[in-house]
Structure 1
Amino acid sequence: MTQKIDGAGLSRPLEGVATPATGSARAGTDRMQPVAAPEGDSLRLTGEASGLQAMAHKLAAAPADIDQAKVDAVSAALAAGSYRIDPARIADGLLGLERDLAR
């Protein structure tokens, strides 16, 4: 089971986490911070989780750069059955990504 954790419904702001409301974070956010949920349960966010949460908010707010002409061309090729997949090119791209991530 998965749950979306976005801080909505919390009775107080997340401690040590930069939020749009607070605009700043307390030093030492790489340690886990307790957060009380309304039901009395608790949640601890690591500094990494807090960073991922902040990145998700930034990405959600960023405008999407979509090349609609390319989307339409691929959609038409898929519908016509003429879209060609090059497995070697896909494999090369994945290997390149793996090399980049290993650095």
Structure 2
Amino acid sequence: MTHKIDGGGASQALRAAELSSTSTARTHAGGDRSQPVAAATPADSMRLTGEATGLQALERSLGGGGAGLDVAKVNEVRAALADGSYQIDAKQIASRMLALESELLK
């Protein structure tokens, strides 16, 4: 026994009947579609700690780009690096690193 399956016939008639029996302003579940859907209120909330607030303030104050940056000095160092005349003083670097470490340990 074989059955021919086609896209029309009873299934299309049933679907047309369903559509005509429902109002265009109502969903199948009975909700009103004539008004915009209100967004659900968020259930989650977030509160920043004092440290996070301080970090945000610091980021805003430093976010000005080149604030406190000596552009002339940067260009001078770039030129010295490019022509190979930039000299590195390892003793000065080491002493500054040690001074920074002692400041951090206080």
* Residue 96 of structure 1: aligned partner: 99
Q: What secondary structure is seen at the aligned counterpart in 1 of 2:63?
A: helix
Q: Percent identity?
A: 52
Q: How many angstroms apart in 1 are the aligned matches of 2:93 and 2:62?
A: 26
Give aligned pairs, total. Answer: 66
Shift of 1:68: 2.3
For the pair shown, the structure with the greater C-alpha radius of gyration is: 2
Residues 3-58 of structure 1, C-alpha deviations (whole Å, 9 max, x = no match): xxxxxxxxxxxxxxxxxxxxxxxxxxxxxxxxxxx986654532111111112112
- Other-structure match for 2:85: 82
- Structure 1 Cα separation of the partners of residues 46 and 76 of structure 2: 46
Letter in 2 for 1:86: D
Highest RCO, 1 vs 2 (Cα 8 Å, sep ≥ 6): 1
AA partner of residue 99 (structure 1): S
Query: Structure 1 residue runs of 4+, over 6 Å off?
Result: none
Gaps of at least 5 residues in structure 1 are: 1-37
In the alignment, structure 2 segments of 5+ residues that lack a partner are 1-40
Show the 5 A alignment for 1:1-103.
Answer: 42-61=45-64, 64-103=67-106
The CA RMSD measured in Å over matched residues stands at 2.6
